[in-house]
Amino acid sequence: MLRFNRILVPLDSSLASTRALDEALRLARRAAAEIDVLRVDVLHGELPPLGDSDAEAEKLRDRMASLMELDKETSDTLDPRSVRITHALERDVAAAPAILRYADEHDVDLIMMGTHGRRGVSRVLLGSVAEEVVRHADCPVITFHADKHEQYESAPLKSILVPIDFSSHSRFGLEHAQEWASLYGARLDLLHVVEDYLHPAFYMANAFSIYKAQPEIVDTARLYLERFLSKTGHADTEVEYHVRSGRAHSEIVDFAEEAGSDLIIMPTHGLTGLDRFLLGSVAEKVVRHAACPVLTVRPFGKSLLEPSDISTTTQGH
């Protein structure tokens, strides 16, 4: 069962953060959680005045009520007037440190925020606030992409993509995905990507492919996916299994777009420094390129699961 009491939504004027706020209102209503709306006053940045917090909170409660009507929720769901909504303002030289500090100081359970997914030189020079938050936050983070906002604006959450590499980290992600699927009544798509490396010619006379060495690898991987799922319960959840080959982050993003996934849930190692630069992070690349929202969970950070729902295999790592 999912457990969280406090959702943080860093807000700016972008469509992506507006999308994040709408989904936070939807989620708070389902989980009876509190919402903290945070604006960051960055040095040399432009920020509109915070305004009257009570009036802003009332506007958001009205927005939550309209979303309930749009989603055709029944009357037994949470009354929007009972949701605590706090507006806060933080000042810092950069947005990410302010968001991370606020999350730590206020014991936030989940961060929901927009990402601009900058690419090329602009992304390298300007960086990505969302990627930095994903990398360093102790709690789970859901990111919403800016340029695909309208495509996913009103779509209900029906399918969740869960990348699986059979590690304890991916089991942790799967356990979160199962609870998320139960909350929304969604289907799970379990995806394993076979990294089919092509070695340089000077290593051997002929090009080498893992499919030539193990032609049955797809069937084997599918069987392992079924076994992997069977150890985590939730037999009532609809599940489909998929195996693809290529680079993990590219195949995950491509599959999500082709299948129309509404959410990707995956673990992140939160690597920093030289290791992160050399090895990269599949989760960060997916956050950067995926059109649909991405929920990243950190195996060694704060969990959204009840302790009884976390497998002993995951706890042991």
Q: What does the pLDDT look like over 248-307, one tens digit per residue?
A: 999 999 999 999 999 999 998 755 555 544 444 788 889 988 999 999 998 888 888 877
Q: What is the pLDDT of residues 139-187, one digit of tens each?
A: 999 999 865 444 444 556 899 999 998 888 899 999 999 999 988 889 9
d(CA 151, CA 231): 35
pLDDT value of position 224: 92
Q: What domains, with CATH codes, occur in the chain? A: 1-154 (3.40.50.620), 156-317 (3.40.50.620)
Closest of 143, 114, 118 to residue 128, by C-alpha: 118
**Residue 102, pLDDT above cutoff 90:** yes
**Residue 54, pLDDT above cutoff 80:** no
- The helix (run of H) or strand (run of E) holding residue 297 is strand 294-297
Residue 141: CB partners within 8 Å, gap ≥ 6? 110, 111, 112, 113, 130, 133, 134, 295, 296
Helix, strand, or coil (residue 134): helix
- The helix (run of H) or strand (run of E) holding residue 294 is strand 294-297
pTM of this structure: 0.81
Tell me the percentage of the chain whose pLDDT exceeds 90. Answer: 32
- Please name every residue paired with 194 in a beta bridge, in sequence order, or none if there are none: 245
Six-digit token string for 187: 């289907």
Highest mean pLDDT out of 49-53, 197-201, 298-302: 298-302
Helix, strand, or coil (residue 37): strand
Cβ-contact 290, 152 below 8 angstroms: no
Residue 287: CB partners within 8 Å, gap ≥ 6? 115, 117, 130, 131, 134, 143, 294, 296
13-22, 123-132, 179-188, 224-233: lowest mean pLDDT where? 123-132
